[in-house]
Structure formats: C-alpha cells, structure tokens
Amino acid sequence: MAIENKKGWIFWFNPLKYSSDKWLYALHRLTGIALGLYLMAHVFETSRILDGPITWNSTMVFLDWPFGVHFGPYILSGILLAATFHALNGLRLTITESGLLMPKPYRIEYPYKAKSLRGWNMVLKILLGIFMIIISIFGIVYIFTGVIL
C-alpha cells in the first residue's frame, strides 16, 4: 500500500532532503499542470477558426499582442520550454521506471558493488540537458524570427 503524502504539494519541493531526481519530478508535475491548462485554452482558441477569418485572425493578433504588448513570443517560448522538458523527462522516466536499462540478473561478486540504473540515469539526465538546450535554441529562434535553423 502506498504511503500518503500528508504534506500535500508543498512536499514536492524539499531541497534539503532530495536529489536532482526529486527536482526533476517536481518540475515534471509543474510543467504537466501548466501544459494541461494550456491544452484547454488551446482547444478553445483553435475552435475560433469555425467562426471565420475575421474572428480567427483577430484572435491570433490578440495572442501575439495581448493587451497591446508584444508578449506572444515569450508565452510561446515558455510553452515550448515546458513541453520540451516534460517530453524529455517523460522519456527518461519511461525508460528508467519500466526497467528498460536494468542489468541482467548476476551472481554477486567481490567487492559487492550493486549494479543499478544509477549510471544510466545520470547519462539520461545529461542527454536531457543537451537536447533541452538544442531544441530550445532552435525553437526560440524560430518563434522570434521565423527562421528555421
């Protein structure tokens, strides 16, 4: 039986007690919530296309220039960063939690060093960082300039 998280969501953020895995987990949840809320707004926003070109184009302009401020690219960049992180970390979780990289059963030998996912998990975290930087650069440059690198 699972142990109850009696401290609620605040327990996701405890820098003293946990490793980087825990921070990635907290960020995974936060980006998941943000992207979930974005999906609802996105479904509403895209449904405006059924109202014709005037409504659609003015909706797009509003999203690019909300309340007269050119803030749209920053919002889009935020969504891109959240989605990229959530996707890459999700891949890492899928691989590690389903035990895809677990070593085969082995006979224990001196010096009794436990084989685990530790090394692979670190490799995956480094790869996450590298891909995060690459995708973010390509995506943000495109959002702000329209240039595909």
Partner 1 sequence: MKESKIMLIQYITGIFILVLGALHFLAISALAPTSDKVLYQYANNSTSTHTLTGGTLYYTTVTTIYHTLFWGSIFELLLTFLVFHIFNGFRIILSEQFPGDRSEKAITYIMLVAGLIIFIWGSKTVVTMLLGGGL
Tell me the window of 19-27, 82-90, 105-113, 123-131 that interacts with partner 1 (CB under 8 A). 82-90
Q: Which tokens hold the place of 59?
A: 């909706």
Sole window of 13-21, 34-42, 101-109, 112-120 interacting with partner 1 (rule: CB under 8 A): 34-42
Choose among 78, 94, 73: nearest CA to 31.
78
* DSSP state letters, 9-51: GGGG--TTT--HHHHHHHHHHHHHHHHHHHHHHHHHHHHGGGG
Name the segment binding partner 1 (CB under 8 A); options: 17-25, 112-120, 125-133, 138-146. 138-146
- Residues of span 83-102 touching partner 1 by CB under 8 A: 83, 87, 90-91, 93-94, 97-98
Phi, psi of 10 (to 5 degrees): -60, -20
Minimum CB distance to partner 1, residue 79 (Å): 10
- What is each CA distance from 61 to 13, 57, 79, 106, in whole angstroms? 37, 6, 18, 61
Question: Interface residues with partner 1 (CB under 8 A)?
Answer: 4-5, 8-9, 29, 32-33, 35-36, 39-40, 43-44, 46-47, 49-53, 56-57, 60-61, 64-65, 68, 72, 76, 83, 87, 90-91, 93-94, 97-98, 142-143, 145-146, 148
